[in-house]
Amino acid sequence: MYKEYFKFYKHINSLEKQSNIIDFENEVNTKFMKPKILTSEFFNDDKEILDNLGLKSNISDWKCYDVLNVPGLIFIKNPFTSIGQKYWLKRCIADYTKKPNRLNIDAHRILGDGEDWWTLSNKNGINLKLRNQLRWATLGYHHDWDTKVYSETAKSEFPMDLSKLSKTIIKLLQFPDEFMAEAAIVNFYHPSSTLSGHTDHSEYNLSAPLLSISFGLSAIFLIGGHSLDDKPVAILLRSGDTIIMSKESRLCYHGVPKVLLPKNDQYFNYDNELEEPFKSYMQVTRININVRQVNNV
């Protein structure tokens, strides 16, 4: 059943008449979602922590929900400020794509010693071919796409700012155990991109939540159950929207069948928010950062 729904959403051209897609921008539908109360006890005297991370410092401005159809799935509606969004997408584009982080284009030996993808993509004008070749970067423990196993010999230092962001969000959600951000995959999607249905089961600690943050173009996120025979639910993700997969949802099949074309995505306007060349890149790109804990503490 998952594959049939994935194929259906992959080929839609408009969100019109798609009432079966959960949209948190609209009025809360108690059949699908339940508002989740966040704790502010940790930050009553230090809202500067949130502000420095590019997050809205007033917790009451955060809109957070439990997705009832998928136990353990939590949705946070864009908790970032506009300045925060710019900071994080720039970090993803210009910094997280540098060595020692690993990129999908490494296998093609495109980059020479000391070169980085973003600088080379914009040297002497925009190199669209090179720019569009980047699909992912791995941070911390580098995910092995063939063996699906993490190794102590394939690991680099995890970015401190992304670690602090992840821990702060998880702490606000009152998870019982401290979250250790040890591995991340930064995905770069274009309007024709998809991510097939899969489960994230490579981590040794599968009880720890998985954090997923999106920037740029909107997309349809499809999540089902522990079997491909289970009926999935579709959720519209806009720029800044954040999902936490925990408990039962941690091992559910999920994917991205559709990234919205720019003309159909007016939810985050970069025209006056970003300077070139970031602006032109984000007008045709969706960035997703997913952070996970690998080991048992």
* pLDDT tens digit sequence for 209-254: 999 999 999 999 999 988 899 999 999 999 999 999 988 888 888 8
Is 216:190 a contact under the CB 8 Å cutoff? no
Q: Which of 111-120, 139-148, 162-171 has the lowest mean pLDDT?
A: 139-148
| pLDDT above 70 for 205 | no
Please tell me which residue, 103 or 26, carries the higher pLDDT value.
103
The answer on whether 143 is annotated among ligand-binding residues is no
Domains in the chain, ordered, with CATH? 1-292 (2.60.120.590)
So what's the pLDDT on residue 144?
76
The DSSP bridge pattern shows strands 210-216 and 219-223 to be unpaired
Q: List C-alpha distances in Å: 101 to 157, 174, 177, 210.
A: 9, 31, 28, 20
Does residue 30 surpass a pLDDT of 80?
Answer: no
Q: Are strands 21-22 and 233-237 parallel, antiparallel or unpaired?
A: parallel
Percent of the residues in the chain that have a pLDDT greater than 70, as a whole number: 90
- What is d(CA 82, CA 153) in angstroms, rounded to the nearest whole number? 38
pLDDT of residue 41: 65
Please tell me the number of Cα atoms within 13 Å of 103 on its side-chain side.
26
CA distance 244 to 229: 23
DSSP 3-state percent helix, strand, coil across the chain (nearest 5): 25, 25, 50
Q: Which residues of 228-264 are buried (b: 16+ CB within 10 A; e: fewer)?
A: eeeebbbbbbbbbbbbbbbeebbbbbbbbbbbbebee
Round to whole Å and give the CA distance between 34 and 60: 16
The answer to the question of whether 200 is labelled as a binding residue is: yes
Containing H/E element for 135?
none
The two structure tokens encoding residue 80 = 């970032």
Average pLDDT, the chain: 87
List pLDDT tens digits, range 66-94: 998 898 999 999 999 999 999 999 999 99
Quick check: pTM over 0.85?
Answer: yes
- pLDDT one-digit tens code per residue, 7-29: 999 998 878 777 788 888 876 66
Q: Does 229 appear as a known binding residue?
A: no
